[in-house]
């Protein structure tokens, strides 16, 4: 099955289909059998890289009904991309041939809420959390005064943070990212997960040339 998902469009369709089953309570667990473990023990061929938040409610394999060896996961609070995360993403593209990178944020993200709290009230986060918040602030600062509704503000900020990470990856100077994008072999897209409905909204999409 995985070999049938080596184009960006097919990989995206597979994620959309898997999330559709998840939201309809018809979710199926991907292949996690002993046979599958043996099959991928010496080689992995994931069809997508998920750059997601560490939030316990947002497990990519569950949201998309994926099994062992299907998704390459890079997670940290706030789905930001520093040097180590970037290296992991580049590895998945250059070494594993992943055709799709998805930056997955979610409703009521705690890291984004902390960044909003810093911008609006000057609240300083303790320890290394502060550096994580600092990475998010430039992305969300332009939307802080857009709306009065608190829930909508958070949603807008989450999406702005996703878009910023997508843009960061798309403008990477590394040929191992840019060459497959130029050849139409790699898409980098954004996605927003609704905690209540379970629906993943894909946006900031790329298209076939």
pLDDT tens column, 153-176 = 999 999 999 999 999 999 999 999
pLDDT of res. 39? 92
Strands 187-193 and 100-106: parallel
Residues 64, 198: Cα–Cα separation, whole Å: 10
Residues 28, 194: Cα–Cα separation, whole Å: 19
Taken in order 197, 198, 199, 202, is the CA torsion positive or negative? Answer: positive
Strands 200-203 and 187-193: antiparallel
| Residue ranges in the chain whose pLDDT is less than 50 | 1
pLDDT of res. 1? 46
pLDDT of res. 111? 96
Residues 64, 12: Cα–Cα separation, whole Å: 11
Residue 128: is it exposed, middle or buried by C-beta count within 10 angstroms (0-12/13-18/19+)? exposed
């Amino acid at each position: 099955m995985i070999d049938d998902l080596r184009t960006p469009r097919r990989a995206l369709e597979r994620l959309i289909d898997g999330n559709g089953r998840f939201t309809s309570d018809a979710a199926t667990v991907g292949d996690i059998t002993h046979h599958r473990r043996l099959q991928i023990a010496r080689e992995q061929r994931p069809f997508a890289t998920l750059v997601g938040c560490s939030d316990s409610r947002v497990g990519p394999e569950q949201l998309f009904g994926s099994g062992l060896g299907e998704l390459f996961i890079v997670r940290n609070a706030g789905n930001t991309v520093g040097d180590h995360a970037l290296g992991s993403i580049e590895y998945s593209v250059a070494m594993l041939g992943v055709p799709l990178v998805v930056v997955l944020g979610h409703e009521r993200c705690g890291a984004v809420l902390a960044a909003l709290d810093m911008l609006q009230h000057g609240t300083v986060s303790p320890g290394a959390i502060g550096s994580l918040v600092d990475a998010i602030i430039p992305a969300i600062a332009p939307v802080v005064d857009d709306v009065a509704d608190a829930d909508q503000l958070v949603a807008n900020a989450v999406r702005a943070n996703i878009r910023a990470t997508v843009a960061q990856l798309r403008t990477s100077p590394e040929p191992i990212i840019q060459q497959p994008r130029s050849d139409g072999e790699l898409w980098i897209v954004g996605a927003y997960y609704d905690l209540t409905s379970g629906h993943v909204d894909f946006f900031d999409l790329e298209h076939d040339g």
